Amino acid sequence: MKKLKGLLFLVLCISLLVAGCSQNSSKKETKIDINIAALKGPTAMGMISVMEDAEAGNTANNYNFDIFGAADEISTGLAKGEIDIAAVPCNLASVLYNNTQGKIKLAGINTLGVLYIVETGDSIQTIEDLRGKTIYSTGLGTTPQYTLNYLLSSNGIDPDKDVTIEYKSEATEVAALLSQSEDAIAMLPQPYVTTVMMNNDKVRIALDTTKEWEAISTDGSSVVTGTVVVRSEFLEKNPKAFDAFMEEYSKSAEFVNSNVEEAAALIEKFDIFKAAVAKKAIPYCNITLIQGEEMKEKVSGYLNVLYKQNPKSIGGELPKDDFYYIIQK
């Protein structure tokens, strides 16, 4: 009888061991390959901790990251199904949604406003102080122009009559103008603002466009620079894998803001920006990961402002509710 009990116990142990091995094997097999893309600059900076973990094999799934210099490369990759998840400008997310008949969904805001009004003098303290001035900027026909126009008009300043706005094609041109004048005013994005300030100690940040926008907003909207999008087909097939990525992304954004020096080193490692610039720019890049209803509120209000100025800037029409992916927790 004792021998029989011993034999049964041994069989039970072996069964549990085999089951355990089988479960571990199953867990390993559930990892999937996910192709992720981002643009160089602040829209990519928030995910560098996930990139580092993925390189070491310490992520929920197998992530293949690509950092691109141009948005059209990402758009093409998403359309062809070669990219599953991407960090892209907010208005491009809307354009992609409209152009693909809803095959792209917005899942999060990863960067709020990165535009700043800077000057070499000390005359600009409020938006009203821009009246009658010349402002140099980049972004003619794109979101920087629409953002500046909205801020000016909302403060009673006609962008076409009450100020002179000179648009340049490159941030370097604007930087050169700032260096040549003792009272020049410009609007630039981060981290170019930091680069200019590192090379010219006369330049100071006068206004944060995100704060100025939120001060006049009545609908909870904000300047939204970068977003996280996902292909609808990929999301439908892999909802848990996507949610796991977003959880890792959220922790990565927190890491970047809490560990600036370490984050800056990783930003250079992954060829996004030089560490010296990134270290000083991170506190001004508004890196975050906003999801759910707050995301929808901020994005819908922002897109509405762009739509009123130029419907083509968001793909011709405002996205419908199915554009927004709200993670159920």
pLDDT digits (tens, 9 = 90+) for 236-272: 999 999 999 999 999 999 999 999 999 999 999 999 9
As a whole number of angstroms, the distance between CA 284 and CA 297 comes to 22
298-323 mean pLDDT: 96
Percent of the chain with pLDDT over 70: 91
> Nearest 5°: phi and psi at 200?
-145, 105
Query: What pLDDT is recorded for position 30?
Result: 84
Q: How far is CA 59 from CA 53, 64, 252, in A?
A: 6, 11, 12
Q: What is the CA radius of gyration of the chain?
A: 24
Q: Are 159 and 318 in contact (CB under 8 A)?
A: no
Does 308 have pLDDT greater than 50? yes
216: which residues sit within 8 A by CB, 6+ positions away?
Answer: 151, 154, 155
DSSP 141: T
Domains and CATH numbers, the chain: 32-112+223-323 (3.40.190.10), 115-216 (3.40.190.10)
Structure confidence at residue 220 (pLDDT): 86
Provide the 10 A C-beta neighbour count for residue 30: 11
Confidence of residue 32 (pLDDT cuts 50, 70, 90): very high
Confidence tier at 209 by pLDDT (50, 70, 90):
very high
What average pLDDT does the segment 31-58 reach? 95
* C-alpha triplet 292, 144, 202: angle, nearest 5°: 115
Using the predicted structure, report yes or no on whether residue 11 has a pLDDT greater than 50: no
d(C-alpha 279, C-alpha 267), whole Å: 9
Which helix (DSSP H) or strand (DSSP E) does residue 156 occupy? none
Counting DSSP H helices and E strands in the chain, the numbers are 14, 11
pLDDT exceeds cutoff 50 at 96? yes
pLDDT digits (tens, 9 = 90+) for 135-184: 999 999 999 999 999 999 999 999 999 999 999 988 889 988 888 888 89
Reported pTM: 0.87
